[in-house]
């Protein structure tokens, strides 16, 4: 918070008084950029905050700290401030400067990270959300708007963890929290307190009803969602009243129903490298699946991956469509060609409907819409799931006939409108053109008349047109020239005839530009009247684009259509890891089968040396299930997927320094979440959990977790572990099965075969792997000696050497539940 700015000294200049009044009307954390001639200036605390971010000098005038940026380069500076998390109010001059009168100014807009429209501030591959959360009774409500496209959704959650996960998926740029609930939600980095009044459920609902022009929100399916509609009302309030944004393009509210989606918590999203990975986008599921041609498609695919479906019918429609495209590759490539020409209709229409956007946007829109008839024709023979796509032949024709071929970005520059669109405009242009050619001829005529060869007719913004004569020829200047200005080596003159023509030219030019702006606004308005259809068409195109992209990926990488079931089965033949398969360079990817059977292999324990391929394999199973439920085909030769309701993926002791928690604590938190939330329909992937603590603790925890998942939850689980002791579970639990990753020893070397085989691994090959990693030879030799010594003196060395065993072989010496028998020497 900043202190209210105070001028030192008794009297404010009128300009500073105007500034202060404006500053007081804004929230304290909004920076005010105040237009002064060719600069935007900031004063007081604003200047101190902004100067280091913008890397500009902080100066002082009359003890007032200030800094400024030139207006013509303001976009870049504003972008820097917004990226640094600031909100920026722009005060523009609204009256012309005139002597003795203060220039009037108004706040034109407030730019905030969650509501930007400017394309250079947006990543076209991802949505940009402004969200609000609200707690009402036990319900946690979330509302989320993408102001650049008009997408507006709500969702309610029963517990905090689920809300956190959804926020991790959506990653909003701004998150509004009622100032009365700041203590509940203050932990979010993007959280921003907002007037608690705006969140009151009744006024908020009323505000939404008024905005959408409806009597109740039942039609949107929001009747029983008071917490999230309160949040939605607050967002609308914030956009309209604080940011002063028109919101006409927010046309409806969509409910995201959690039980329609496969829930993927934040940690699993990270561990599966769905969207981001440490090694870049190329190494993510999104990266390998994304063959979309339009930004709308790219954003939708991202959403699909983060919100897979549990609705078999809806998924069937997606799979059918991909299958149909693959059956007719010619149509697929034609569709993709048509899509190639379509740009970001969603955001273009978003900008135009906001009173932003320029003639280039209209041109881009017309270009994009012009490709729709071809796309519809290509789709014609297929039963497309996207019915809402419409062509707009009249609009395209109208825009193409109106907008010039290379329109300027600025609305005031002129040249936006094509000749022949408006006879009034054509006349004004002819007038100015004729005047200009008269002036061009004048130079030649005056040279003849005066005999001065070097005479020039020139133009500048201060004097308009003038005649310039170099100093050496001044004697030849005729009497009817009036001197206007003396320069170092020339004089400048005007004549009455020149000025008369100048008035005509400039007057016509001025009027033409004004008329062009009016015509542009009219065209923009015409587009806005079609807003609904345009938004729906854009959404339909996004869907077709995603499905065509998935079909293309399936074709390129040999993905097959999965069979979806409501069972707890999972049977994958020749499954591959969709990402690693594409990025491996030295080796060929080795496919593997996976079968989960509710009766005898629900929980699978996977052992094997480091680097054998355990982590890869267990993730590949999760990714195949997830892909099947986004509607994609999967990397396998056959796949039957009993649909899952949640996917969990945990990695033991993964570092999470950014959250400032001990790694073990993080691991246990994440594990607790699984135990509390997994159901018998979930898929759980556990990669070496229990590693971040002493061996005894770790093993005990891993053991107890496995037992619970098997006995109580009954979910499909893949557990990769180096605790060989865990393989004993197969002896006491009917649906636990052991697997290992095959390796072969050859001349004391280890060869990784990458094949998953039934049974437990025979030993851990730690020393061989250490040698592969380049540990010096004497150390390897010494380690071998120590190992054989330990094995010899260990109490139960044979435990580690029993070799692969059939999975249900019962042993006599069963460890009692919760009291695992431990043989830790072998692990050294
Ligand atoms: P682990 O978890 O057993 O230590 P990883 O799953 O991390 O092993 O795999 C180690 C490396 O082995 C991977 O980075 C990859 O290069 C290679 N790899 C794993 N699985 C396969 C496979 N099925 N085919 C080919 N290479 C694989
Ligand atoms: Mg691993």
Model pLDDT for residues 596-644, shown as the tens digit of each residue: 998 889 999 999 888 899 999 999 999 999 999 999 999 999 999 999 9
pLDDT at 653: 60
Task: Give the highest mean pLDDT range of 98-102, 350-354, 629-633, 818-822.
Answer: 629-633
The pLDDT value recorded for residue 1 is 43
Contact in structure between 112 and 87 (CB atoms under 8 Å) = yes
Q: Is 769 in the pocket of ligand 1 (CB under 6 A)?
A: no
What distances in angstroms separate CA 407 from CA 410, 428, 508, 703, one per listed residue?
Answer: 9, 18, 20, 69
C-alpha torsion sign, points 33, 39, 42, 43: negative
Alpha helices in 558-715 (DSSP H): 580-583, 614-630, 663-677, 695-708
Question: Which residue minimizes the CA distance to atom 13 of ligand 1?
Answer: 613
- Buried/exposed code over 220-238 (b: 16+ C-beta within 10 A; e: otherwise): bebeebbbbbbbbbbbbbb
Q: What is the number of the ligand 1 atom nearest to the C-alpha of 612? A: 3
Q: Could you tell me the pLDDT band of residue 463, with boundaries at 50, 70 and 90?
A: confident
Q: What's residue 96's pLDDT?
A: 82
| Higher-scoring residue by pLDDT: 663, 209 | 209
Ligand nearest to the CA of 753: 1
By most ligand atoms within 8 Å of CB, the mutation choice from 578, 611, 766 for ligand 1 is 611
For ligand 1, whether the C-beta of 142 sits within 6 Å is no
- Exposed (0-12), middle (13-18) or buried (19+): which is 560, by Cβ within 10 Å? middle
Which of 497, 403, 515 lies closest to 457 in space, CA to CA?
A: 497
Cα 194 to Cα 183: distance, rounded to the nearest angstrom: 13
Distance 197 CA to ligand 1 centre (A): 55
pLDDT value of residue 294: 97
Q: Looking at the CA of 654, name the nearest ligand.
A: 2
**Ligand 2 centroid vs 688 CA: distance in angstroms?**
7
User: Quick one: pLDDT at residue 799?
Assistant: 39
Mean pLDDT, residues 136-151: 94
Q: Find the ligand nearest to 611 CA.
A: 1
Task: Identify the CA nearest to 184 among candidates 137, 216, 223.
Answer: 137
Which ligand ends up closest to the CA of 652? 2
Q: How far apart are CA 480 and CA 256, in angstroms?
A: 79
CB of 612 closer than 6 A to ligand 1? yes
Mutate which of 613, 750, 751, 766 for ligand 1 pocket (most atoms within 8 A of beta carbon): 613
Ligand 1, atom 23, lies closest to the CA of: 590
Q: Interior CA angle at 658 toward 656 and 664, to 5°?
A: 30
In angstroms, what is the span from residue 591 Cα to ligand 1's centroid? Answer: 11
Give the pLDDT confidence score for residue 549 in this predicted structure. Answer: 98
Which ligand 1 atom lies nearest to the CA of residue 616? 6
Residue nearest to atom 10 of ligand 1 (CA): 611
Measured in Å, residue 614 CA sits from the centre of ligand 1 at 7
Query: Does 755 sit in the ligand 1 pocket, CB within 6 Å?
Result: no
Q: What is the pLDDT of residue 757?
A: 92
State if residue 607 touches ligand 1 by the CB under 6 angstroms criterion.
Answer: no
> Ligand 1 pocket, 616 CB below 6 A?
yes
CA-nearest residue, atom 4 of ligand 1: 611
Phi–psi pair at 469, nearest 5 degrees: -125, 130
- How does pLDDT run across 715-747, given as a tens digit for each residue? 999 999 888 889 999 999 999 999 999 888 887
> How far is it, in rounded angstroms, from Cα 519 to Cα 101?
33
Question: Which atom of ligand 1 is closest in space to residue 741's alpha carbon?
Answer: 3
Tell me the pLDDT tens digit for each residue of 185-200: 867 877 899 999 999 9
CB of 610 shorter than 6 A to ligand 1: yes
Ligand nearest the Cα atom of residue 585:
1
Tens digits of per-residue pLDDT, 467-477?
999 989 888 98
Q: From the CA of 587, how far away is ligand 1's center (Å)?
A: 10
Q: How far is the CA of 131 from the centre of ligand 1 (A)?
A: 39
Contact 424, 518 (CB under 8 A): no
Q: How far is the CA of 766 from the centre of ligand 1 (A)?
A: 16
pTM for the model stands at 0.84
pLDDT value of residue 794:
63
Ligand 1 pocket member 279 (CB < 6 A): no
77 pLDDT above the threshold of 60:
yes
The stretch 138-150 carries a mean pLDDT of 95
Report how far ligand 1's centroid is from the alpha carbon of 612 (Å). 6
Is the CB of 611 within 6 Å of ligand 1? yes
Q: What's the pLDDT score for residue 806?
A: 38
582 lines ligand 1 (CB under 6 A): no
pLDDT band at residue 803 using 50, 70 and 90 as cut-offs? very low
Token pair listed for 176: 């509004």
Task: Give the number of the ligand closest to the Cα of residue 651.
Answer: 2
Q: Which atom from ligand 1 is nearest to the alpha carbon of 584?
A: 16
309 C-alpha to center of ligand 1: Å?
29
CB of 54 within 6 A of ligand 1: the answer is no
Q: Which ligand is nearest to the CA of 607?
A: 1
Question: Is residue 632 within 6 Å of ligand 1 at its C-beta?
Answer: no
Ligand 1 centroid vs 642 CA: distance in angstroms?
Answer: 26
Q: Does the CB atom of residue 772 touch ligand 1 within 6 A?
A: no
Least confident span in 298-307, 452-461, 701-710, 802-811: 802-811
Q: Residue 340: CB partners within 8 Å, gap ≥ 6? A: 293
**What average pLDDT does range 166-190 have in this prediction?**
88
Does ligand 1 lie within 6 Å of residue 587's CB atom?
Answer: yes
CA 646-650-656 angle, 5° bins: 125
Of the candidates 79, 594, 534, 589, the residue with the CA atom closest to the CA atom of residue 342: 534
For residue 729, the CA-to-ligand 2 centroid distance in Å is 21
Q: Which of 282, 264, 306, 346 is nearest to 644 (CA)?
A: 264
- Mean pLDDT, residues 204-221 taken together: 92
Q: What is the mean pLDDT of the chain?
A: 87
Residue of the CA atom closest to atom 5 of ligand 1: 613
* pLDDT value of position 693: 67
| Residue 655 pLDDT level (bands cut at 50, 70, 90) | very low
Which comes out higher in pLDDT, residue 146 or 805?
Answer: 146
Q: Whose CA is nearest to atom 25 of ligand 1?
A: 589
Model confidence at 40: pLDDT above 50: yes
- Region 341-354: mean pLDDT is 93
Q: Give the ligand whose atoms come closest to the C-alpha of residue 741.
A: 1
| 754 C-beta closer than 6 A to ligand 1 | yes
Kindly report, residue by residue over 772-785, the tens digit of the pLDDT.
878 888 888 888 88
How high is the pLDDT of residue 3? 47
Q: Which ligand gives the minimal distance to the CA of 619?
A: 1
Query: Residue 492's pLDDT is what?
Result: 93
Please tell me the residue having the least CA distance from ligand 1 atom 6: 613
pLDDT score at 814: 32
pLDDT, position 10: 55
Q: How far is the CA of 647 from the centre of ligand 1 (A)?
A: 21
C-alpha distances in Å from residue 678, one per residue of 507, 567, 670, 674, 709: 74, 16, 12, 5, 8
Distance, CA of 688 to CA of 625 (rounded, Å): 21
590 lines ligand 1 (CB under 6 A): yes
Residue to probe by mutation, ligand 1, list 271, 576, 578, 580, most atoms within 8 Å of CB: 580
Span 563-603, pLDDT tens digits? 999 999 999 999 999 999 998 888 899 999 999 998 889 99
User: Which of 351, 386, 397 lies closest to 249, judged by CA?
Assistant: 351
User: How close is the Cα of 288 to the center of ligand 2, in Å?
Assistant: 22
pLDDT at 797 over 50: no
What distance in Å separates the CA atoms of residue 228 and residue 142, rounded to the nearest whole number?
Answer: 5
CA of 741 to the centre of ligand 2 (A): 12
Does residue 811 surpass a pLDDT of 60? no
Out of 133-137, 375-379, 542-546, 688-692, least confident range:
688-692
Does residue 615 have its Cβ closer than 6 Å to ligand 1? yes
Above 80 in pLDDT, residue 791?
Answer: no
The set of residues, in sequence order, having a beta carbon less than 8 Å from that of 451 and lying 6+ positions away, is: 476
State in Å: Cα 720 to ligand 2 middle.
8
In the prediction, which pLDDT does 692 show?
66
For residue 798, name the pLDDT band (cuts at 50, 70, 90): very low
Residue 825 Cα to ligand 2 midpoint, Å, equals 22
Q: Is 642 in the pocket of ligand 1 (CB under 6 A)?
A: no
Taking the CA of 614 as reference, the closest ligand is 1
Which atom of ligand 1 lies nearest, measured to the CA of 720?
A: 2
């Amino acid at each position: 918070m900043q202190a209210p700015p105070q001028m030192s000294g008794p009297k404010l200049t009128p300009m500073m008084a105007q500034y202060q009044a404006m500053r007081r009307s804004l929230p304290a954390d909004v920076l005010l950029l105040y237009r002064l001639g060719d600069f935007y200036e900031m004063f007081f605390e604003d200047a101190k905050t902004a100067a280091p971010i913008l890397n500009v000098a902080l100066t002082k005038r009359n003890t007032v700290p200030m800094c400024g940026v030139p207006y013509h380069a303001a976009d870049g500076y504003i972008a820097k401030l917004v990226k640094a998390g600031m909100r920026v109010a722009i005060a523009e001059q609204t009256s012309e400067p005139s002597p003795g009168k203060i220039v009037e100014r108004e706040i034109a807009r407030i730019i905030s990270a969650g509501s930007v429209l400017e394309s250079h501030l947006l990543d076209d591959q991802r949505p940009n959300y402004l969200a609000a959360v609200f707690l009402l009774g036990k319900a946690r409500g979330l509302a989320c708007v993408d102001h650049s496209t008009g997408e507006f959704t709500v969702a309610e959650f029963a517990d905090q963890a689920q809300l956190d996960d959804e926020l991790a998926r959506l990653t909003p740029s701004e998150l509004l929290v009622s100032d009365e609930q700041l203590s509940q939600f203050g932990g979010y980095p993007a959280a921003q307190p907002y007037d608690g009044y705006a969140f009151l459920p009744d006024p908020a609902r009323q505000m939404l009803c008024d905005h959408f022009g409806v009597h109740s929100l039942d039609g949107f399916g929001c009747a029983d969602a008071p917490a999230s509609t309160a949040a939605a009302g607050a967002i609308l309030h914030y956009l309209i009243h604080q940011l002063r944004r028109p919101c006409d393009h927010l046309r409806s509210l969509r409910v995201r129903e959690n039980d329609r989606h496969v829930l993927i918590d934040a940690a699993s999203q990270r561990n599966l490298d769905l969207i981001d990975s440490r090694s870049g986008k190329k190494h993510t599921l999104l990266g390998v699946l994304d063959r979309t041609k339009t930004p709308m498609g790219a954003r939708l695919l991202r959403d699909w991956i983060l919100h897979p479906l549990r609705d078999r019918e809806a998924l069937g429609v997606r799979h059918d469509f991909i299958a149909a495209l693959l059956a007719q590759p010619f149509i697929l490539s034609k569709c993709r060609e048509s899509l190639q020409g379509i740009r970001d209709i969603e955001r273009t229409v978003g900008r135009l409907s906001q009173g932003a956007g320029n003639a280039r946007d209209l041109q881009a829109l017309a270009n994009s819409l012009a490709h729709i008839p071809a796309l519809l024709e290509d789709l014609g023979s297929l039963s497309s799931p996207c019915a809402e796509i419409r062509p707009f032949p009249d609009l395209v024709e109208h825009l193409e006939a109106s907008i010039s071929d290379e329109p300027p970005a600025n609305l005031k520059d002129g040249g936006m409108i094509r000749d022949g669109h408006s006879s009034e405009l054509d006349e004004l242009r002819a007038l100015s053109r004729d005047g200009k050619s008269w002036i061009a001829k004048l130079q030649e005529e005056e040279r003849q008349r005066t005999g001065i060869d070097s005479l020039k007719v020139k133009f500048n913004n201060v004097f308009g047109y003038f005649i310039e004569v170099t100093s050496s020829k001044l004697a030849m200047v005729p009497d009817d020239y009036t001197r206007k200005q003396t320069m170092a080596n020339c004089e400048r003159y005007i004549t009455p005839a020149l000025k008369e023509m100048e008035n005509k030219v400039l007057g016509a030019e001025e009027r033409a530009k004004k008329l062009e702006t009016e015509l542009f606004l009219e065209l923009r308005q015409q587009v806005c009247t079609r807003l609904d259809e345009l938004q729906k068409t854009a959404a339909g195109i996004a869907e077709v684009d995603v499905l065509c992209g998935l079909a293309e990926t399936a074709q390129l990488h040999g993905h097959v259509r999965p069979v979806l079931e409501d069972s707890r089965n999972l049977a994958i033949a020749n499954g591959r890891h969709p990402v690693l398969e594409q990025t491996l360079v030295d080796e060929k990817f080795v496919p593997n089968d996976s079968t989960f059977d509710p009766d005898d292999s629900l929980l699978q324990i996977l052992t094997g040396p480091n680097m054998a391929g355990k982590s890869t394999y267990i993730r590949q199973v999760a990714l195949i299930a997830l892909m099947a439920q986004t509607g994609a085909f999967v990397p396998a030769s056959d796949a039957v997927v009993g649909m899952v309701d949640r996917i969990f993926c945990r990695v033991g002791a993964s570092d999470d320094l950014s959250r400032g928690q001990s790694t073990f604590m993080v691991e246990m938190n994440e594990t607790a979440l699984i135990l509390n939330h997994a159901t018998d329909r979930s898929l759980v992937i556990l990669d070496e959990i229990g590693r971040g603590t002493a061996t005894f603790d770790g093993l005990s925890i891993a053991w107890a977790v496995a037992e619970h998942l098997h006995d109580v939850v009954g979910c499909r689980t893949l557990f990769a572990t180096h605790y060989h002791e865990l393989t004993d579970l197969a002896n006491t639990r009917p649906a636990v099965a052991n697997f290992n990753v095959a390796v072969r020893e050859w001349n004391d070397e280890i060869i990784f075969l990458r094949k998953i085989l039934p049974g437990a691994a025979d030993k851990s090959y730690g020393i061989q792997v250490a040698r592969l990693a380049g540990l010096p030879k004497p150390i390897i030799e010494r380690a071998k000696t120590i190992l054989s010594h330990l094995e010899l003196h260990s109490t139960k060395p044979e435990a580690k050497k029993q070799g692969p065993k059939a999975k249900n072989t019962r042993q006599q010496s069963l460890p009692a539940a919760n009291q695992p028998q431990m043989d830790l020497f072998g692990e050294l």
